[in-house]
């Protein structure tokens, strides 16, 4: 079964908007796992507008499933990951003022940099993943960085799903097939939701993990967190 990692950034955004500790990010993390999530994802940014670096310290001993820290590998981020040693680190080429992730790595241009960073994480026993667009050239160059996985940036799929799902999924299937041929494992994330997720994983059933935050938390406003997580897990079952 494809694993569901719940990105809790939006919970932290809501907490930070009012100050204090409501909602309680630590408690919700524990509850997400109790409700069936097979992983927790956080994406600390330098301005700490949602997940704070302190949150990582507090969450690390609580998480009993799989902990994934994603972000731009600036020195502060690298130090954080090496200190708390998650199960997986996902490298994302965020700009400092970026609202949300909106592109994957140019693995050809940044091959040397990525190779050096990934080597440090792998020496620490941390599985690595690179955020990439469904571009065959970028996937080919990902191999040479030494990464264990790629994470397909799925915003393009989500944007075109309602109009022409078959055409929209095609480059993602090709990219995922290329990655599998080269021995890379595959994650996926960004704008996946209850409407478009099943078609995506049905066409790429060898994906290891999806990371979902914004849509899942939005759905929880209507269905409740426990029910929402169960709905996503049900969608991920490939029959």
Active site residues: 43, 70, 190
At 143 the three-state DSSP class reads helix
Which tokens belong to 189? Answer: 């994330």
Rounded-to-integer distance, Cα 59 and Cα 43, Å? 13
At 188 the three-state DSSP class reads strand
Residue 24 CB partners (closer than 8 Å, separation 6+): 15
φ, ψ of residue 26 to 5 degrees: the values are -65, -45
Contact between 88 and 116 under an 8 Å Cβ cutoff? The reply is no
Instruction: Measure CA 161 to chain center.
Output: 20
| Alpha helix segments (H runs only) across 40-85 | 53-59, 75-84
Distances (CA, A) of 205 to 3, 47, 51, 176, 186: 11, 36, 31, 10, 10
| Maximum Cα–Cα distance across the chain | 49
Rounded-to-integer distance, Cα 213 and Cα 185, Å? 21
């Amino acid at each position: 079964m494809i694993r569901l990692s719940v990105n809790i950034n939006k919970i932290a955004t809501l907490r930070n908007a009012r100050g204090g500790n409501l909602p309680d990010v630590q408690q919700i993390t524990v509850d997400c796992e109790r409700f069936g999530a097979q992983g927790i994802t956080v994406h600390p940014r330098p301005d700490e507008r949602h997940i704070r670096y302190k949150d990582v310290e507090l969450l690390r001993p609580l998480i009993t499933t799989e902990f994934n820290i994603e972000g731009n590998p600036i020195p502060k981020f690298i130090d954080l990951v090496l200190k708390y040693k998650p199960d997986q680190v996902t490298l994302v080429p965020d700009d400092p003022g970026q609202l949300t992730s909106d592109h994957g790595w140019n693995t050809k241009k940044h091959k040397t940099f990525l190779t050096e960073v990934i080597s440090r994480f792998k020496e620490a026993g941390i599985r690595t993943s690179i955020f990439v667009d469904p571009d065959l050239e970028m996937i080919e160059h990902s191999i040479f960085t030494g990464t264990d996985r790629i994470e397909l940036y799925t915003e393009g799929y989500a944007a075109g799903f309602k109009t022409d799902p078959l055409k929209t999924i095609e480059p993602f299937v090709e990219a995922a097939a290329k990655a599998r041929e080269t021995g890379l494992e595959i994650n996926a994330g960004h704008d996946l939701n209850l409407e478009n997720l099943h078609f995506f994983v049905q066409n790429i059933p060898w994906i290891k993990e999806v990371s979902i935050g914004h849509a899942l938390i939005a759905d929880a406003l209507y269905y409740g967190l426990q029910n929402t997580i169960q709905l996503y897990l049900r969608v991920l079952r490939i029959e």
